[in-house]
Amino acid sequence: MIKPFRITYALLIFSLIPCFVVSQSNKTIKIQAEAAVNDKDWYSAAVLYGKLVARDSSVVSVNYGYADASRLNFDLDIAFYWYTKVIAVDNGKKFPLAFYWKAQILQYKGNYKEAKKWYAKFSKSRKAKAAKYSYYVTKAGIQAEACDLAQVLMSNPVSYKIVHLDTAINSKVSEYAAFEKASMLYFSALRVIAKKYADEEEKPLLNKIYSSDTKMAKWQKVKILDTNINATYIHNANICFNDDYTQMIISRCRNKNATEYTCDLYESKFVSKKWQPMSKLGEPINLKGTSSSMPSYANINDSTFLFFTSTRGGGSGGYDIWYAYKKPDGSFDKPRNAGPKVNSPDDDITPWYVNDQKLLYFSSTYHKGLGGFDIFRSVYDKGTFGEPTNAGYPINSSYNDIYHSVNKEGTFAYLSSNRIGSFFEHKLNCCNDIYRYQLEPKAKPQVVDTVKLIQGQLKVLVPLTLYFHNDEPDAKTKAITTKRITKSLRRLYCFKT
């Protein structure tokens, strides 16, 4: 027989339980948060770190973890607040990247002058000299220059009017990869499919491909493409067609972890007035152990090419842009890399080639832009792609701008963006919407005037400050400025240094 506890002993035991439970709970939550980070489940990581900082905001490593998870979960205001808290205590000693990420968020917000200062603080910090931060130091220098360029681009906007498509197309979740063909707008989206019956089993949330008729003055009701195209067990996205509308290629993707995917390209042929079930493209388009996605067809010098992005070897890093010649028998030649002027150490994505202008549109976070992914143009000439130029503002925003496409008639261009004004459920800038702008038929795209660009960059850099020894350049004065001309000062400064 088990004897009952004495009351005093029981009280002692239960008085210890709250402290023990909280301690264990904090430890457990941290383990769960770290597991979520390893799975790149930024939403769960942010929730778990949020619980920890709500209990105790004095642990700098936890604060930094919360800032990182919030940034990657697109909760930029929360991330900015906690990076600032970390910097106030740590000042780059253990977490120098807090400087870098704070700069990036300021850049996203369009606060370019402040962003440039924080990029410089990171680059000059003692810890940043370590080899493991070399990539970030290099990119911080590029982004500091991009902050100057962004101010110039916004001061010299291209004259296109960017139109946010209405709720017939866009929703509070992501819509992207839009393009127009044969009076139809095709796009991809992550939407909840309503249940037909109350007791119907909950369906997994999958990306699918949709269409809407563009013939009428208003967008027609969006239709989901059939299950020959949209498989019910996998993500489906990024549809494209060949010129004569006899072949379709899409991406099908499986979750690698909570936020990353491994994708392959699939094709369907139009036979007997019907699209046939999808079949996976073989090598050399899909390669085992790599991801291939975002296909688009192009015509270069009367030959058909398939553009796509891939993580395969032989590139510059991350996702690179590749293109493969389509042979007369329908098979593909070995893909070619778009080259080091286009591809960068970061992800370079969403290729779209405009045949008659020999222009490749793509998006990148590495080339100098307004912030996030910017849309760039590269001219194809004599077998190579040239130095990319920024498509300009307001085509680009300080947020992510991707999936630029132009219809065959050259009358409309489409893009996807999570810029201010995009619809959202809970988090500002969480999700992409589809935008478009009108072009003059067959007109060349507007470009920023190079002379104005250089003049604007110079304005951003002035007033220029030079530091001299005492009594230079003017002797026996306490004045902190001089009336001497810049040319003579520059000579004196360069000679002395």
Which residues does 260 contact at the CB level (< 8 Å), separation at least 6?
40
Tokens of 106: 């300021």
Q: How many CB atoms lie within 10 A of CB 482?
A: 15
DSSP result, 90-125: HTTSS-THHHHHHHHHHHHTT-HHHHHHHHHHHHHS
**Structurally, how many domains does the chain consist of?**
3
Tokens of 193: 């499919």
Give kind and range of the element (H or E) at residue 391: none
- Any domain includes 1: no
Q: Tell me, what's the pLDDT at 9? A: 31
One domain for residues 228 and 317: yes
CATH number for 66? 1.25.40.10
- Any domain includes 10: no
What are 402's strand-pairing partners?
A: 416
Q: Tell me, what's the pLDDT at 195? A: 52
- Any domain includes 4: no
- Any domain includes 11: no
Which residue type, as a one-letter code, is found at position 27? K
One domain for residues 171 and 77: no
CATH number for 344? 2.115.10.20
Q: Tell me, what's the pLDDT at 274? A: 93
Q: How far is CA 280 from the centre of its chain?
A: 27
- Its domain, for residue 477, covers 463-496
One domain for residues 283 and 241: yes
One domain for residues 387 and 417: yes
- Any domain includes 432: yes
Tokens of 180: 């127009």
One domain for residues 294 and 379: yes
- Any domain includes 5: no
One domain for residues 76 and 203: no
**Is the separation of the CB atoms in 251 and 307 below 8 Å?**
no
One domain for residues 381 and 492: no
DSSP result, 401-426: EEEEEE-TTSSEEEEEE--TT---SS
Of 121, 155, 189, the residue that ends a domain is 155
One domain for residues 333 and 479: no
- Any domain includes 452: no
Mark the ranges of the chain whose per-residue pLDDT is less than 70.
Answer: 1-24, 193-204, 441-497
One domain for residues 474 and 442: no
Nearest CA to 330 among 267, 286, 277?
Answer: 267
Gap between the Cα atoms of 329 and 490, Å rounded: 65
Q: How many CB atoms lie within 10 A of CB 465?
A: 6
pTM, full prediction = 0.85
Report residue 435: phi and psi, to 5°: -125, 160
Give 90: exposed, middle or buried? Use CB within 10 Å, 0-12, 13-18, 19+: middle
Nearest CA to 170 among 427, 438, 424?
Answer: 424
Q: Tell me, what's the pLDDT at 13? A: 33
One domain for residues 57 and 112: yes
- Any domain includes 363: yes
Of 92, 122, 155, the residue that ends a domain is 155
One domain for residues 200 and 329: yes
DSSP symbol at 129:
G
One domain for residues 78 and 198: no
Pairing of strands 247-255, 261-271: antiparallel
Of 118, 135, 155, the residue that ends a domain is 155
DSSP symbol at 486:
H
Residue with tokens 């029981």: 10
